[in-house]
């Protein structure tokens, strides 16, 4: 289980989540965004590889927004598989994130 990051277009941080998005990843997910460069304007959480997500993952996503609340950022969750998109929809995460 891993978290990888990359910067796209010099202004977007992409956080790539592995197959399982659960409590085991709490520290590595936090490290992915904690030293965010000033030029970053958007954070994309890429769930293309994610097959399992639990409530702690939802909490990590909300905590990321809370920690970065002082910055004007766009938050997107991208490349969701249908079962992950359903979890996000039921949890009403489309009110806090752009989901694509």
pLDDT by residue (tens digit) across 48-69? Answer: 999 999 999 999 999 999 999 9
pLDDT at position 2 over 90: no
Residue 67 has what pLDDT?
96
How many whole angstroms separate alpha carbon 12 and alpha carbon 74?
Answer: 9
Secondary structure letter of residue 97 according to DSSP = S
pLDDT at position 17 over 90: yes
Question: Is this model's pTM higher than 0.85 or not?
Answer: yes
- The parent domain of residue 65 ranges over 3-99
Residue 1: pLDDT band (50, 70, 90) is low
CB-based contact 95:65 (threshold 8 Å): no
* Domains contained in the chain, number: 1
As to burial, measured by CB atoms within 10 angstroms (0-12 exposed, 13-18 middle, 19+ buried), residue 28 is middle
């Amino acid at each position: 289980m891993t978290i990888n990051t990359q910067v796209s277009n010099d202004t977007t941080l992409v956080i790539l989540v592995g197959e399982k998005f659960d409590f085991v990843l709490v520290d590595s997910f936090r490290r992915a965004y904690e030293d965010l460069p000033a030029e970053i304007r958007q954070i994309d959480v890429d769930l293309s590889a994610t097959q399992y997500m639990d409530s702690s993952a939802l909490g990590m996503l909300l905590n990321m927004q809370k920690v970065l609340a002082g910055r004007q950022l766009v938050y997107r969750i991208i490349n969701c598989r249908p079962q992950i998109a359903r979890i996000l929809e039921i949890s009403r995460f489309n009110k806090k994130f752009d989901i694509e």
